[in-house]
Amino acid sequence: MKRHNALQLRGVGKTFDGFQALQQADFLVRWGEVHALLGENGAGKSTLMNIAAGLYAPETGELLVDDNPVRLRGPADAARLHIGMVHQHFKLVRPFSVAENVLLGLPAGQGSHRRRLAEISERIRQQAAALGFAIRPEQRVAELSIAEQQRVEILKVLLAGARILILDEPTAVLTDGEGERLLETLRALSAEGAAVVLVTHRMQDALTYADRLTVMRGGRTLRSLDPAEVSVDELVRLTVGDAQPLADTPRRAAGAPLLTVRGLRTPERGGRRALDGIDLELRAGEIYGIAGVGGNGQGELADVLMGLPQPYEGEVRLEGFGDLAAAASARRRDLRIAAIPADRYGSALAGGLSVADNFAIGAVHSGRFGGLARLDRRAQEEATQAAVTQFDVQGVRSVRQKAALLSGGNAQKLVIAREFGREPRLVLAHSPSRGLDVRAGAEVQARLLAAREAGAAVLLISEDLDEVLALADRIGVMSAGRLVAEFQRPADRQAIGHAMVNHA
């Protein structure tokens, strides 16, 4: 049966601050189809879909819905045309509950706020159950993990009635099983007539679940393909050229304990503790990977170790210093602790500041760029440009441009350039490759391996089990705020999965 066109973009062009993000880009998704959009970070995928969702206006080209040309003045126009987008960087109001956030995405209705909230809460429970999401309508977004916040975004779009669904890296923060269930749900929605756009870096997901594939490079549409006609290797080469997979390197022997965590607990909320007695020992010259189903305390553990505001009981000690609770941010940098948070824009970068300011902010207290009263801007910009070149941060027309203009992968490279500016002794990395393409992800992982080989202790918290298996010397499984199992390299994937599921 022939499928009719749902959403089409033709000859789209878009620039930001003189940078050509899109050049004559084309894309077409039909009703009843899952269409995967692939490309390197900075290829223009998110920009093109943000135009389809009404967030940006194209400078050239046209947008068609049901083969009819339309002009979107904003996301509300897109919503009226049943277009909804789940963004990689979430659009949630953190102090509000899940139900309140979902309600914000709906048109104004009749009845009291209390009644509408009760009605949407019941719809959330039903939709969450259908998707297999453990989300409660009354939960505050600020208390949710990154993975749980992603699920709220998906619920919000579906409950708003979107029939053209655009999802930007929807499985990036989900476990294998959760991702499979979500993708099966998207397939079911397309079978019911919805048009689904899947922006993803996971080649196998695209080949398994998509009806069509489109590859972008350098702001242009490179090619559209039938998944049955291309292999993973061919798709990787088409997408990122000759990028090589991360090679396993000889492992050096781990040294003495560097970071020791004892009895780590957070206050009880809603009858449970996010962290409920964590004991952990991290040695110099090793990577310790933490695996687990999202929402089991990984985010809270990262916050405590990185020094982000989080009340807790227990002890976190660094060899040669003592209790890290007493160490402010400047002192942690003096101790050569590198921190790579999961939310790079929310916790690691200030999007409204320049690339140079974001790079230099970690070294201002040291006097490297002069005193606080009189910064040496020239030295700051020269150091930033050298780091941008060394760490291959793409899309930087000028180090004075805003960091918000960088793609997700290049923003992550900027964070790593700053954190690795001084050879780290301890690296704390939470989902460092989340949402990155093959090449950018391999570069980030190579940096972690190099830090380990230089003698640093690396704690890797990741919901990507493949990443943990590839990098970690030891693997701990987190469930319900505890480390419930530990494995030595080489670890058995099925045994880790068994520990994750049986304790979840």
Three-state DSSP string of 50-110: HHHCCCCCCCEEEEEECCEEECCCCHHHHHHCCEEEECCCCCCCCCCEHHHHHHHCCCCCC
Task: Judge whether 5-240 and 255-336+425-504 match in fold.
Answer: yes
- 71 to 117, 144, 278, 395, 420: CA distances (angstroms): 32, 36, 53, 28, 45
Q: Where are the chain's structural domains? A: 5-240, 255-336+425-504, 349-421
- CA gap 195, 479 in Å, rounded: 36
β strands within 226-346, DSSP E: 257-265, 268-269, 272-273, 276-283, 287-291, 313-318, 322-323, 337-340
For residue 461 the two structure tokens come to 């918290």
**Angle between helix 438-453 and 232-240 (nearest 10):** 90
Q: Give me the pLDDT at residue 81, please.
A: 94
What does the pLDDT look like over 434-474, one tens digit per residue? 767 777 788 888 889 999 999 999 999 997 888 898 899 99
Q: Are 135 and 98 in contact (CB under 8 A)?
A: yes
Q: Give me the pLDDT at residue 177, please.
A: 72
Residue 387: Cβ-neighbour burial (10 angstroms; 0-12, 13-18, 19+): buried
Cis peptide before 58 (omega within 30 of 0): no
What does the pLDDT look like over 368-413, one tens digit per residue? 777 666 778 888 889 899 989 988 888 888 999 999 888 877 888 8
| Mean pLDDT within 7-26 | 90
Element (H, E) at 370: strand 370-371
What does the pLDDT look like over 488-502, one tens digit per residue? 988 887 788 778 755
Across the chain, mean pLDDT equals 86
Q: Are 340 and 430 in contact (CB under 8 A)?
A: yes
- Given a cut of 90, whether residue 51 has pLDDT beyond it is yes
What does the pLDDT look like over 272-287, one tens digit per residue? 788 999 999 999 999 9
Q: Name the pairing type of β-strands 5-16 and 482-488.
A: unpaired
Mark out the alpha helices in 361-407 (DSSP H runs): 377-390
- Given a cut of 80, whether residue 270 has pLDDT beyond it is no
Q: Please state the φ and ψ torsions of residue 239, each to the nearest 5 degrees.
A: -80, -45
Q: Are 475 and 486 in contact (CB under 8 A)?
A: yes
Residue 228: Cβ-neighbour burial (10 angstroms; 0-12, 13-18, 19+): exposed
What does the pLDDT look like over 223-235, one tens digit per residue? 999 999 998 878 8
- Given the candidates 3.30.1330.80, 3.40.50.300, 3.40.50.450, 1.20.120.1200, the CATH classification of the domain at 5-240 is 3.40.50.300
Q: Give me the pLDDT at residue 371, please.
A: 67
What does the pLDDT look like over 103-144, one tens digit per residue? 988 877 666 888 899 999 999 999 888 877 888 999 999 988
Mean pLDDT is lowest, of 78-87, 177-186, 210-219, 383-392, for 177-186
Q: Higher-confidence residue: 404 or 248?
A: 404
- 248 to 427, 446, 457, 470: CA distances (angstroms): 20, 10, 18, 7
Q: Are 84 and 164 in contact (CB under 8 A)?
A: yes
Q: Name the pairing type of β-strands 370-371 and 272-273.
A: unpaired
The fold of the 255-336+425-504 domain, in CATH, is Rossmann fold (3.40.50)
